[in-house]
């Protein structure tokens, strides 16, 4: 091996290896300090693309779960309002049965009629004021709610819920005013109340079934969200057992490289022994 001083080949080799070891050490430090294996596209371009897609889907799923919870809340509000209407109708049926009694005079029957009319008005008020998110749910102004419960643009990512009009009138509960002023009209009111109860019960059955379906959809999304999070973690997150081992290796290589570089830089000085004799 020739002895030269203008070009220190050993020092250049040591510098190159030290640069590589130092770059690897910086990567290890970045991964250990951030907790991520993939911190930039340079770390794993394909992995970063997949991880970002999974993260995007996860965020959409979280929004969809909030949508479902809003839907459940709307159904609970609607069902409780319908339950109150059921209680009122039950009382109206009781009043109609009492007013159909032949031993009552017209003056006494009018007391039942007055309460009947007030309860009829209360049903109307409840139906017109029940709302969620600014949407009236029981007044017939909207016939269905469409909830977005997925993370893609398809019909399977939407869920429609039918709404019933529970207002007083021909399009809802066909309950007449002053229905208890006579025995005959009171008996007819019994049929009217029974028909109204069936309408309300049919609506509540839809509300209950829709709530159960929303809960099932929510459970499915929760499982999907968990799986997407786990898939992203396997791609993006750092394995600390592996990374600490690499960090220790790279740290030793850097220290060794610095030591070898110092020795390589000293090699040209051996020429002085030839000149000094």
Matching residue, tokens 């290796």: 249
Q: Which two tokens stand for residue 22?
A: 């130092």
What is the CATH superfamily name and number for domain 45-236?
f41 fragment of flagellin, N-terminal domain (1.20.1330.10)
Instruction: Print pLDDT tens along the chain (277 aa).
Output: 567 777 778 888 888 988 898 888 998 899 898 999 998 888 889 999 999 999 999 999 999 999 999 999 999 999 999 999 999 999 999 999 999 998 988 889 999 999 999 999 999 999 999 999 999 999 999 999 999 999 999 999 999 999 999 999 888 899 999 999 999 999 999 999 999 999 999 999 999 999 999 999 999 999 999 999 999 999 999 998 988 999 899 899 999 988 888 888 887 777 777 776 5
- Alpha-carbon distance values, 216 to 68, 124, 229 (Å): 10, 33, 20
φ, ψ of residue 162 to 5 degrees: the values are -75, 140
- Residue 146 parent element (H or E): strand 144-148
Q: Which residues contact 172 (CB under 8 A, 6 or more apart)?
A: 127, 140, 164, 165, 166, 199
d(CA 234, CA 66): 26
């Amino acid at each position: 091996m020739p002895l030269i001083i203008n070009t220190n080949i050993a020092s250049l080799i040591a510098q190159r290896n030290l640069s590589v070891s130092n770059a690897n050490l910086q990567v290890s430090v970045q991964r250990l300090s951030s907790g991520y294996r993939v911190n930039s596209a340079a770390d794993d371009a394909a992995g970063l693309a997949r991880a970002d897609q999974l993260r995007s889907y996860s965020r959409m799923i979280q929004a969809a779960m909030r949508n479902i919870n809003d839907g459940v809340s709307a159904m609970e509000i609607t069902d409780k309002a319908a339950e109150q209407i059921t209680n009122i109708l039950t009382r109206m049926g009781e009043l109609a049965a009492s007013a159909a009694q032949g031993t009552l005079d017209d003056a006494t029957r009018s007391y039942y009629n007055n309460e009947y009319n007030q309860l009829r008005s209360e049903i109307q008020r409840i139906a017109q004021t029940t709302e969620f998110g600014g949407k009236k749910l029981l007044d017939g102004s909207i016939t269905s709610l469409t909830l977005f419960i997925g993370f893609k643009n398809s019909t399977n990512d939407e869920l429609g819920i039918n709404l019933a009009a529970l207002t007083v009138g021909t399009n809802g509960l066909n309950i007449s005013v002053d229905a208890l002023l006579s025995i005959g009209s009171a008996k007819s009111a019994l049929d009217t109340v029974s028909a109204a109860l069936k309408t309300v019960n049919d609506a509540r059955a839809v509300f209950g079934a829709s709530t159960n379906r929303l809960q099932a959809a929510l459970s499915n999304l929760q499982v999907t969200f968990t799986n997407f999070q786990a898939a992203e973690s396997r791609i993006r997150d750092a394995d600390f057992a592996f990374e600490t081992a690499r960090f220790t290796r790279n740290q030793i290589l850097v220290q060794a490289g610095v030591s070898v570089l110092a020795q390589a830089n000293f090699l040209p000085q051996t020429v002085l022994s030839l000149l000094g004799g």
